[in-house]
């Protein structure tokens, strides 16, 4: 079947659908490699100790190809595709964790704010080694995620290995309905504090509403705004652009550069809300090692335009764009199609956004140690190299 148009996702951006008949256009060297692949397939079919299902082998080949590229490109079908759609909607039952497979183990990038996982004390950088006593090592990540999902009110026992501790330990977490409430806000002494927990649908609109409500509650006079992007793993590029545009009157927000010049895109402030909705109020943006992707786009745009002071810890460092490319009605590829750059032309890949004012989490006595060993993009196996950094070297 023909490929469906690509969908913006996790940095988004359109790419041209792949050619379903592309195998016919390979060069001689690629043809040799395809020949080896088919030869190995025949060897397995004819000689493996047990009969092997074709679907299992081809799925393994697809997964292997994508895994060899970078940590964020993957094949999705069935329940895994449905889970991604559900996550974008921001409503599901489970623990509230952003995880990745690293060195064969499930590793936590960040627990979502207010989630059962955060309340249970799980931290960025923790490894989940067992689920209900069953070892999950070198197994499919979707299988582990499906195991952690489940009806609200049910519990699961996680065995955690935390770098810096000698022994692993168990944590029992009760699943809940993860209605992430992408945007929450409160007024503190005439200062509006807006927390953006993830970039799902309508985040930009919700932040605009938050500013309006905060100004009303402050009697029409706000002293400033704090935009809290800590532990925000990202999401939609479009929402990151809209959120940045709220506080910028003109100029670039982010650029997206693909393999070919024709695929480059520039996103600029359009003053959809007729200019800076904060009307020049001082803004502080809070980030940490769990601030990734779309969070870094917002922080980078406001930092480069000197519209906000960035405070906290260095961010995660995910400077790549993934597009969801449909193959048919029930399967798709999430493929890295571009890198993104801040208005000043800086890539956050590996290095992340560096705060103007570095501030550790003083409320947590172990925060400095965790910040030093926090997982970032540069720690992931097969991550993209920051090509700007290579040029500078």
Q: Tokens in use for 99?
A: 């995880």
Instruction: Identify whether the C-beta of residue 135 lies closer than 8 Å to the C-beta of residue 101.
Output: no
Which is nearest to 320 in space by CA: 15, 72, 63? 72
- Kindly give the pairing relationship between strand 309-312 and strand 283-287: parallel
Strands (E), the chain: 7-9, 74-77, 91-94, 97-102, 105-111, 127-131, 134-135, 155-161, 169-174, 176-179, 183-188, 191-196, 224-228, 252-258, 265-268, 283-287, 309-312, 320-328, 331-341, 357-358
* Residues recognised as catalytic: 293, 304, 318
Tokens (6 digits) for 64? 């292997």
With CA atoms as reference, report the closest residue to 131 among 96, 100, 106, 101: 106
Q: Report the alpha-carbon distance of residue 35 to residue 159 in Å, rounded.
A: 43
Strand partners, 257: 339
Contacts of residue 354, defined as CB under 8 A and 6 or more positions apart, other chains included, come to: 310, 314
Q: What letter does residue 138 receive in the DSSP assignment?
A: S
Cα dihedral sign for 92, 97, 101, 105?
A: negative
SS (H, E, C) 282-328: CEEEEECCCCCCHHHHHHHHHHHCCCCEEEECCCCCCCEEEEEEEEE
């Amino acid at each position: 079947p023909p490929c469906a148009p690509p969908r913006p996702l996790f940095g988004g951006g359109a790419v041209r659908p792949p050619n379903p008949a592309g195998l016919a256009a390979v060069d001689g060297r690629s043809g040799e490699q395809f020949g080896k692949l088919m030869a190995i397939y025949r060897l397995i079919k004819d000689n493996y100790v047990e009969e092997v299902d074709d679907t299992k082998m081809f799925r393994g080949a697809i997964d292997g190809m994508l895994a060899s590229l970078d940590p964020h490109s993957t094949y999705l079908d069935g329940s895994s595709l449905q889970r991604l759609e559900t996550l974008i909607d921001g409503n599901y039952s489970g623990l509230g964790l952003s995880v990745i497979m690293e060195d064969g183990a499930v590793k936590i990038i960040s627990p979502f704010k207010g989630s059962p996982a955060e309340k249970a004390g799980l931290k960025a950088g923790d490894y989940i080694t067992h689920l209900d006593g069953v070892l999950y090592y070198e197994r499919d990540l979707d299988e582990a995620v499906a195991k952690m999902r489940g009806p609200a009110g049910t519990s699961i026992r996680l065995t955690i290995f935390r770098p810096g501790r000698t022994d692993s330990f168990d944590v029992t977490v009760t699943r809940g309905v993860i209605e992430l409430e992408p945007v929450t806000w409160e007024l503190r002494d005439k200062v509006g504090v807006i927390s953006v927990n993830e970039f799902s649908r309508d985040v930009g609109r919700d932040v605009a509403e938050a500013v309006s409500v905060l100004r009303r509650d402050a009697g029409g006079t706000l002293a400033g705004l704090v935009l809290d992007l800590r532990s925000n793993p990202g999401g939609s590029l479009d929402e990151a652009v809209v959120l940045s545009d709220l506080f910028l009157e003109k100029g670039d927000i982010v650029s997206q550069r693909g393999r070919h010049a024709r695929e480059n895109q520039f996103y600029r402030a359009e003053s959809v809300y007729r200019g800076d909705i904060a009307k020049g109020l001082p803004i502080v943006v809070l980030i940490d090692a769990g601030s990734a992707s779309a969070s870094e786009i917002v922080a980078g745009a406001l930092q480069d335009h000197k519209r906000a002071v960035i405070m906290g810890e260095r961010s995660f460092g995910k400077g790549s764009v993934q597009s969801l490319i449909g193959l048919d009605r029930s399967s798709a590829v999430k493929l890295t199609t571009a890198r993104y750059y801040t208005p000043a032309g800086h890539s956050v890949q590996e290095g992340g956004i560096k705060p103007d004012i570095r501030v550790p989490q003083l409320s947590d006595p172990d925060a400095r140690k965790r910040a030093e060993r926090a997982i970032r993009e540069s720690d992931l196996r097969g991550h993209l190299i920051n090509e700007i950094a290579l040029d500078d070297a």
